[in-house]
A and B are shown apart, each in its own frame.
Chain A
Amino acid sequence: DSGVTQTPKHLITATGQRVTLRCSPRSGDLSVYWYQQSLDQGLQFLIQYYNGEERAKGNILERFSAQQFPDLHSELNLSSLELGDSALYFCASSVAGVSADTQYFGPGTRLTVL
């Protein structure tokens, strides 16, 4: 158990809908990262927050957005969903949000778009 929690574990929705994925980091970690894992794209970095502020952006679509709240939990919002958005979405957290940090991964949210 990494100490990172993600809810829900599974999500099934329809095209065009909007969903919110939630992540709680390990106690003491200030930085949160979001990743998308799919069969065709592999594991892709989406976005990173540090203490409430966006720090780095990867391959995140404009239809996707995220935020980190004062209690350090984070939410990833996915809108206008397409079939291709079906994937595993992982949240990770680290202490200081720097490159040398170990990132601790949550168990993931499996999103299925029908």
Chain B
Amino acid sequence: AQSVTQLGSHVSVSEGALVLLRCNYSSSVPPYLFWYVQYPNQGLQLLLKYTSAATLVKGINGFEAEFKKSETSFHLTKPSAHMSDAAEYFCAVSGGYNNNDMRFGAGTRLTVKP
């Protein structure tokens, strides 16, 4: 079975500062890892995903994440936060070609201060 742990339910940064949202995973098979963003009163939108190609994955809106097998981590970063980045971010894992039981983390709410 797979699981993810998101460290920090709330993260607050100043506009222009580095954004770092942490995600650690557990999986008995090579994982597929995802970051989704949820804006208020909306569904989830994919930011990026890792599917065993390049370990550094670039996504939309300037976000990127690095898969580190030795640390079982898939942290999300963005060099410079914008006010529009304020949202809830979810890390998710699935594993095995036909194992579609995607497990989501508890989410991290990002606040961006002016």
The 8 A CB mask of B67-109 against A (1 = contact, 0 = none) is 0000000000000000000000010001111111111111100
In contact, B98 and A98 (Cβ under 8 angstroms): yes
A31 and B94 alpha carbons, distance in the complex (Å): 16
User: What is the total of A-B residue contacts with beta carbons within 8 Å?
Assistant: 64
Q: How far is the CB of B40 from chain A (nearest CB, A)?
A: 12
B100 touches A55 (CB 8 A): yes
B36-63 to A contact mask, C-beta < 8 Å, 1/0: 1000011111100101000000000000
Residues of A within 8 A of B97 (CB): 98-100
- On chain A, the number of residues with a Cβ less than 8 Å from chain B's Cβ atoms is 25
Report A2-33 CB contacts with B as 1/0, cut-off 8 Å.
10100000000000000000000000000101
Counting contact residues on chain B (CB < 8 A from A), the size range is 20 to 34
In the assembled complex, the Cα of A37 lies from the Cα of B105 at a distance in Å of 12
For A4, the chain B residues whose CB sits under 8 A away are 43
* In the assembled complex, A56 has its CB within 8 A of some CB on chain B: yes
* Contact for A45 among B96, B98, B103, CB less than 8 A: B103
**Is A2 in contact with B94, judged by CB distance below 8 angstroms?**
no
Closest chain B residue to A107, Cβ basis:
B43
Highest count of chain B CB atoms <10 Å: which of A90, A99, A102: A99
Q: Are A45 and B42 in contact (CB under 8 A)?
A: no
- Chain A residues contacting B100 (CB-CB under 8 Å) are 31, 33, 48, 55-56, 97-99
Q: Contact: A103 with B43, CB < 8 Å? A: no
B104 contacts across to A, CB distance below 8 A? 42-45
* Cα A43 to Cα B21 with chains together (Å): 18
Which residues from B are CB-within-8-Å of A103?
Answer: 46, 102
In the complex the two chains form, is B107's CB within 8 Å of A56's CB?
A: no
Q: Please give the residue numbers on chain A whose beta carbons come within 8 Å of chain B beta carbons, in ascending order.
A: 2, 4, 31, 33, 42-45, 48, 55-56, 58, 90, 92, 97-100, 102-108
